[in-house]
Structure 1
């Protein structure tokens, strides 16, 4: 891959990271609404969901978390929560809110699994390392959120939640190894992952229980 192509892919990764940040902000916001938290509680849950996975990833990689250096994640969270408030997503939890939550949480999951995997690839990690970093980035914020609100984390019992994150990280690693790591591949994987996640939720696909 030449430098111009690499720069273009990293630019798209920045956008994908912001898409994931916005999506997880909404999912955390809606969980706070569902739990009937006050304003501060909703903000804490939303912010934790949006940045938790990335912070854990960066600590694991021994680097200063991106959110402490770059203003764009915090700006994205503030703008997203402001829009959620203006759209009255805080009014009540109902079937419509549940659908919005599933779409937002699924979008964040796939976006962060790919963005996290790209970070692992840029650090020269092997396949196992890339899978771990992609997985942690994707599910870390949600796990912290669920533990905070005393729910069972989605990765333990929900429809292909963590499995899809691992799959997408693995596919991105394979694409890089085969020389197909362009923007079209990135967005194709994003669409594929989101489709799989939503289909799994709709059809209630699950891994076998022990």
Structure 2
């Protein structure tokens, strides 16, 4: 798919993830250093863990742009007093940006796994970790149950994207057209899941 479009989607996703970390940190009454750390890990934790798992130096430690994106997000959120808005994460612009990040990071994780010769299981793991690892780190640090385990069809979208990537790599080919198709399908599935509040079944106690 077009590199500029993918870059824009990834950037929007990074901003949305960083903002969600910032807002959660404010709710937990963290100091300014804590807010930045949580925002940074939310936006970049998945990629950091992924790169360590495949034995590489995390890209986030080599590319200073990740730091600047999170820093600018935190400053803008503070100046605009976004923490005073209720249910900001449910506003459509935020949901769309977050969904673009989820899809682009899922694809990135799957592509890196395939390029490194991982098994289909490895592709699924890296896709999910890249997309959702930052949120898991955030929630764990803040003493919450990771949203991955109880939010609306969020992790399932990353898994579906990984499965599509595995199928294309096995039976067809990965190119700009097929990657674009996966991107669009993943985004549409996520937005439909959000609109209709899809959840995986839960086992109720009692």
Band of TM-score, shorter chain: 0.7 to 0.9
Displacement, 1:199? 2.3
Helix, strand or coil for the counterpart of 1:37?
A: coil
Aligned mates of 1:187, 1:52 — CA distance in 2 = 25
Give deviations 1:1-29, integer Å, cap 9, x for gaps.
Answer: xxxxxxx7777665554443223112212
Residues 1:98 and 1:113: Cα distance change in structure 2 (over 3 Å) = same
Helix, strand or coil for the counterpart of 2:69?
A: helix
Aligned mates of 2:22, 2:11 — CA distance in 1 = 16
Structure 1 runs of 4+ aligned residues shifted over 6 Å read: 8-12
Displacement, 1:170? 1.7
Aligned mates of 1:205, 1:102 — CA distance in 2 = 15
1:95 lines up with 2:87 in the alignment: yes
Aligned mates of 1:152, 1:103 — CA distance in 2 = 23
1:107 lines up with 2:79 in the alignment: no
Aligned mates of 2:82, 2:175 — CA distance in 1 = 36
1:170 lines up with 2:163 in the alignment: yes
Displacement, 1:101? 4.8
1:140 aligns with 133
2:65 aligns with 72
Displacement, 1:179? 4.0
Helix, strand or coil for the counterpart of 1:125?
A: coil
Residues 1:83 and 1:111: Cα distance change in structure 2 (over 3 Å) = farther
Q: Which moved more, 1:45-54 or 1:74-83?
A: 74-83
2:154 aligns with 161
Residues 1:208 and 1:65: Cα distance change in structure 2 (over 3 Å) = same
Displacement, 1:61? 0.7
Aligned mates of 1:33, 1:187 — CA distance in 2 = 36
Q: Give TM-score, length-normalised by structure 1.
A: 0.82
Q: Which moved more, 1:138-147 or 1:78-87?
A: 78-87
- For structure 2, list consecutive stretches of 5 or more residues without a partner in the other structure: none
1:21 lines up with 2:18 in the alignment: no
1:126 lines up with 2:144 in the alignment: no
Contact in 1 for aligned 2:12/2:97 (Cα 8 Å): no
Contact in 2 for aligned 1:13/1:115 (Cα 8 Å): no
Count the aligned residue pairs.
Answer: 202
Q: Which moved more, 1:136-145 or 1:39-48?
A: 39-48
RMSD: 2.5
1:202 aligns with 195
1:60 aligns with 53
Aligned mates of 2:187, 2:95 — CA distance in 1 = 11
